[in-house]
Amino acid sequence: MMSDLNLAIFLAVCLSACAAAATEDALMSRALKLMSETPLIDGHNDLPWQLRKQFNNQLEKVDLYKLDTTHTNIPKIRRGRLGAQFWSAYVPCETQYKDAVRQTLEQIDVVHRMCQKYPEAFMFASSSQDIRDAFSRNKTASLIGVEGGHSIDSSLGTLRTMYQLGVRYLTLTHSCNTPWADNWRVDEGTEPSQHNGLSPFGKQLIVEMNRLGMLIDLAHVPVTVMDQVLDLSEAPVIFSHSSAYAICPHKRNVPDDVLKRVRDKRGVVMVNFYNDYVACAESAKLSDVADHFDHIKKVAGAGAVGFGGDYDGVTRLPEGLEDVSKVPNVVAELLRRGWTDEDVKDALGNNLLRVFSEAEAIRDSKVNDTNPDDVPIPYEEVKTPCRTSFGYSHAGPTLSLSATLLLLLQALRGLIAGAAS
């Protein structure tokens, strides 16, 4: 028979467990309520690449209601309350100088076809207003981000064509240098710098992306490129799937001095869930992910943080975040840590909506006084056996006037900063 003391202890443990469970239930209820009021906008999901790998983009062979070999399917999306998703149009660096443009166009195509096949679940989106409209219709707004500058084959015309097809961000590099930008592995020391960040054409590209209203994604770039873009871009920038370097010192993450510059630029860092970037280890916990949210909020403010899970693009995910259905767990954890409702709503989607809207406003301000940049990259910088030279003169191209003026302004800023120091 249980003694009075043991009975008291047993009852105390039971009461404590019940109280803890009630608290967790209350936090989750509050999290789901906030997610019903503000769209969760995730910056990066590689489901389209899984569709290529597993089915060669043959959607007739796929049922997204039953697909169980990915982190993402329609039931998981609905349980995860995913209001908007930037689907990644990613192709590997091995396609550079070969068929990167074709393969990227096929990834753009598969996102469009996914929306057409499942109109009850997805609504294709290409603007901040489209995200709001899809959310009001209880559909997942489906946007496209091209992951890797090698996908445009050093062509501003290709960049513009992809924008017309609905692409709304470009990740400047993936894990290889392009003819105009260094990638993050330069900071890791596993690849040499070729451009000291951005080449002159790379800086042209930033100007043209501002003119288009295309978001500049600094995930996968070295710190030099981060700083150069933050100097050049008129519009806020994003990190579509990166975390905080101070919590996990991986070169794919964002250092504190850059976080502060992102804050000043009114940009957003969308936290990646990959264990290697979250805990710098093969295993990680939900609390480790929340630590990154906390740190970015502490350094740059609640206005600079968002969600960028990288589902279906990574092989290891934290306990409690195994697929897209589990994202509300992060929201509940942030609430448990004392985040206000407004802070959570900012992180869920209001920050990205603000960034997107500001990029659109800058685009609209340029409609009447800025023409498309049609100065190509110098042929010598892209010359390969697979590339022809049609259209190039012996004199070679020159920078556009707008790009030249911006580069001169950047140089002047450098001189002023040098004199001040």
Confirm whether 282 is domain-assigned.
Answer: yes
pLDDT exceeds 70 at position 7? no
Q: What is the dihedral of CA 70, 239, 338, 345, to 10 degrees?
A: -80
Confirm whether 20 is domain-assigned.
Answer: no
Cβ pair 240, 308 in contact under 8 A: yes
Cβ pair 254, 246 in contact under 8 A: no
The number of distinct structural domains making up the chain is 1
Instruction: Tell me the sheet residues that pair with 270.
Output: 306
Confirm whether 368 is domain-assigned.
Answer: yes
Write the pLDDT tens digit of every residue in 40-50. Answer: 999 999 999 99
Q: What span, in angstroms and rounded, lies between the C-alpha atoms of 152 and 248?
A: 31
pLDDT exceeds 90 at position 177? yes
Query: What is the predicted pLDDT for the residue at 376?
Result: 97
H or E element: which one contains 130?
Answer: helix 128-136
Cβ pair 83, 40 in contact under 8 A: yes
| Domain that includes residue 121, residue range | 39-385+395-420
Q: What is the mean pLDDT of residues 306-316?
A: 98
pLDDT exceeds 90 at position 37? yes
Residues acting as catalytic residues? 44, 46, 147, 174, 220, 241, 310
Confirm whether 7 is domain-assigned.
Answer: no
Residues 6+ apart with CB under 8 A from 261: 226, 227, 230
Confirm whether 234 is domain-assigned.
Answer: yes
Q: What span, in angstroms and rounded, lies between the C-alpha atoms of 352 and 305?
A: 9
As to burial, measured by CB atoms within 10 angstroms (0-12 exposed, 13-18 middle, 19+ buried), residue 322 is middle
Q: What span, in angstroms and rounded, lies between the C-alpha atoms of 176 and 80?
A: 33
3 state SS of 238: strand
Q: What span, in angstroms and rounded, lies between the C-alpha atoms of 180 and 403?
A: 14
Cβ pair 163, 188 in contact under 8 A: no
Phi, psi (degrees; rounded to nearest 5) at 354: -65, -45
Confirm whether 29 is domain-assigned.
Answer: no
Phi, psi (degrees; rounded to nearest 5) at 63: -120, 105
Query: What is the predicted pLDDT for the residue at 413?
Result: 59
User: For residue 17, which amino acid is it?
Assistant: A
List the Cα angle 70/334/33 in 5-degree steps: 80
Q: What is the mean pLDDT of residues 301-327?
A: 98
Confirm whether 335 is domain-assigned.
Answer: yes
Cβ pair 381, 289 in contact under 8 A: no
H or E element: which one contains 283?
Answer: none
Query: What is the predicted pLDDT for the residue at 393?
Result: 79
Write the pLDDT tens digit of every residue in 94-132. Answer: 999 999 999 999 999 999 999 999 999 999 999 999 999
Phi, psi (degrees; rounded to nearest 5) at 6: -65, -35
Confirm whether 26 is domain-assigned.
Answer: no
pLDDT exceeds 50 at position 395? no
Query: Left, alpha or beta for 250 (phi > 0: left; psi -120 to 50: alpha)?
Result: beta
| CATH label of the domain that carries residue 65 | 3.20.20.140
Query: What is the predicted pLDDT for the residue at 24?
Result: 82
With CA atoms as reference, report the closest residue to 173 among 275, 99, 90, 250.
Answer: 90
pLDDT exceeds 80 at position 400? no
Q: How far is CA 329 from its chain centroid?
A: 20
Predicted structure pTM score? 0.90
Cα 346 to Cα 121, 133, 205, 326: the distances in Å are: 24, 18, 29, 19
Q: What span, in angstroms and rounded, lies between the C-alpha atoms of 139 and 307?
A: 18
Phi, psi (degrees; rounded to nearest 5) at 187: -70, -30
